[in-house]
Amino acid sequence: MEKTELIGLSKDELAAQIEAIGEKPFRAKQLWQWIYYRGETDFEKMSNLSKDLRAKLAEHFTITRPKIVTEQISSDKTHKWLLEFADGQRIETVYIPEEDRGAVCISTQVGCAVGCRFCHTGSQKITRNLTAGEIVSQFMVARDAYGEWPSPTSETRYLSNIVVMGMGEPLHNPDNVIKALKILSDGEGIAISKRRITLSTSGIAPKIPLVATELGVKLAISLHAPNDEKRSQIMPINDRFCIDEVLKACQKYQDVMGFSRMITFEYLMLKDFNDSPEDAKELIALMKKYKLGAKFNLIPFNPWPGCNYQPSSNNKVHAFSRMLEAAGYEAPIRVARGQDILAACGQLKSKNQ
Ligand code: SF4
């Protein structure tokens, strides 16, 4: 008999599985806490369950972590795991620590179909979507590494935030991503607050409102250019969903979440491509036109072997930031992290490293 993997089941699905082996539904609640609050993977150690029940659970179910193929820690303490799932497919997960907290950047697909020209991951074709369990278990691997079980209070945990920004386009895999984020934010388990979860998309316009209606987490858009002509050059997805469609979808997100729930626009600073004062002016005009509660995240480009773009100079990045801030938009410059282990934004890749 093939055993059922429990990581990634919703609460209702878990209850149904428990009932199917003849147990009372409240056992599902206990099991949920063992799995997601305590991080336990061994049924035998679930001490408030009877010996018989523990044996029965082990007979029918598994609680699996992906295999850690390699693990690297950069000079700035950024931590990257190359993880392998049961079918041999691999993805990367990164923990980016700040002083007393940090974000785990999780992947949602093996490869990516969007093919942004500046992105290392995008040069690796899409293989498949990750399941909800495979998405959730990346965060669990990180928690294992930092010993954050049982779930610490939100004030004391190092792994405080989640950014859905690793390999893959999350809104090309919305069902599994929604299911996974519901599990990760569930208050009786891992309990990461929705305000500490950010979903970043390349702009799959029809699905963007789901981020508000289904999840209520923060939204980031990879914009990277102030007009369609430039954006299409670096992001072919712009030919499917142009800036107008993306920004209208952002308006729908804010209709549900409120104007004060700022949308972050990611903007990669590429030398002599999108980093001039004219580009900044165009970007500001765009934001004013759509009346969005917006802030920017200016990203210094991390070149990778074989890429065609170069990073903007420091001076230009700072001048760009000052222009946006003068227009009333926060525009911090992201400090590049984990560059020495290719763990920075857009550098993740699971093959041919
Ligand atoms: S930036 Fe994101 S959406 Fe674009 S190719 Fe890379 S992983 Fe895919």
Q: How far is the CA of 51 from the centre of ligand 1 (A)?
A: 47
CA dist., res. 140 & res. 119, Å (int): 26
| Rg for the chain, CA atoms, rounded | 21
Q: What is the mean pLDDT of residues 118-131?
A: 85
Output the CA–CA distances (angstroms, integers) from residue 200 to 28, 204, 345, in the order listed.
32, 10, 11
**Residue that the structure tokens 């990879």 belong to:** 222
Give the highest mean pLDDT range of 199-213, 306-320, 337-351: 199-213
Q: What is the mean pLDDT of residues 243-264?
A: 96
User: 325 falls in which pLDDT band (50, 70, 90)?
Assistant: very high
Mean per-residue pLDDT of the chain: 93
Q: Which atom of ligand 1 is nearest to the CA of 201?
A: 3
User: 156 falls in which pLDDT band (50, 70, 90)?
Assistant: confident
57 lines ligand 1 (CB under 6 A): no
What's the pLDDT at 247? 98
Q: How far is the CA of 165 from the centre of ligand 1 (A)?
A: 8
User: 241 falls in which pLDDT band (50, 70, 90)?
Assistant: very high
What's the pLDDT at 316? 97
Q: Which atom of ligand 1 is nearest to the CA of 120?
A: 6
- Residue 269 phi, psi (nearest 5): -90, 105
User: What is the pTM assigned to this prediction?
Assistant: 0.94
266 lines ligand 1 (CB under 6 A): no
Q: What is the mean pLDDT of residues 300-322?
A: 91
What's the pLDDT at 353? 37
Q: Is the pLDDT confidence value at 57 over 70?
A: yes
Q: What is the mean pLDDT of residues 209-234?
A: 97
120 or 350: which carries more pLDDT confidence? 120
Q: How far is the CA of 301 from the centre of ligand 1 (A)?
A: 14
121 lines ligand 1 (CB under 6 A): yes
Q: Is the pLDDT confidence value at 12 over 80?
A: yes
- Which of 118, 169, 207, 266 maximizes ligand 1 atoms within 8 Å of its Cβ, making it the mutation to test the pocket? 169
User: 326 falls in which pLDDT band (50, 70, 90)?
Assistant: very high
- Residue 224 phi, psi (nearest 5): 65, -5
Q: What is the mean pLDDT of residues 84-108?
A: 94
- Which of 105, 118, 121, 342 maximizes ligand 1 atoms within 8 Å of its Cβ, making it the mutation to test the pocket? 121
What's the pLDDT at 165? 92
Output the CA–CA distances (angstroms, integers) from residue 4 to 21, 28, 40, 279, in the order listed.
12, 14, 16, 53
Q: Is the pLDDT confidence value at 344 over 70?
A: no
What's the pLDDT at 9? 98
Reading the block at residue 47, the tokens are 């001490």
Q: What is the DSSP string of 134-201?
A: HHHHHHHHHHHHHT--SPPPTTT-S--EEEE-SSS-GGGSHHHHHHHHHHHH-TTTT---GGGEEEEE
Q: How far is the CA of 347 from the centre of ligand 1 (A)?
A: 10
116 lines ligand 1 (CB under 6 A): yes
Q: How far is the CA of 125 from the centre of ligand 1 (A)?
A: 11
Among 38, 40, 148, 149, residue whose Cα is nearest residue 102: 148
324 lines ligand 1 (CB under 6 A): no
Predicted confidence (pLDDT) per residue in 172-208, tens digit: 999 999 999 999 999 999 999 999 999 999 999 999 9
115 lines ligand 1 (CB under 6 A): yes
Structural domains of the chain sorted by starting position, each given as residue range(s) with its CATH number in brackets: 4-62 (1.10.150.530), 67-341 (3.20.20.70)
CA dist., res. 330 & res. 293, Å (int): 10
Q: How far is the CA of 149 from the centre of ligand 1 (A)?
A: 32
Predicted confidence (pLDDT) per residue in 17-31, tens digit: 999 999 998 999 999
What's the pLDDT at 152? 87
What's the pLDDT at 72? 95
Reading the block at residue 228, the tokens are 């369609």
Q: Is the pLDDT confidence value at 352 over 60?
A: no
202 lines ligand 1 (CB under 6 A): yes
Reading the block at residue 28, the tokens are 């599902």
Q: Which atom of ligand 1 is nearest to the CA of 345?
A: 1
- Which of 112, 125, 172 maximizes ligand 1 atoms within 8 Å of its Cβ, making it the mutation to test the pocket? 112
So which residues are the catalytic ones?
92, 345
Among 104, 124, 103, residue whose Cα is nearest residue 114: 124
Q: Is the pLDDT confidence value at 253 over 50?
A: yes
Q: Is the pLDDT confidence value at 145 over 80?
A: yes
Q: Is the pLDDT confidence value at 122 over 70?
A: no
What's the pLDDT at 213? 97
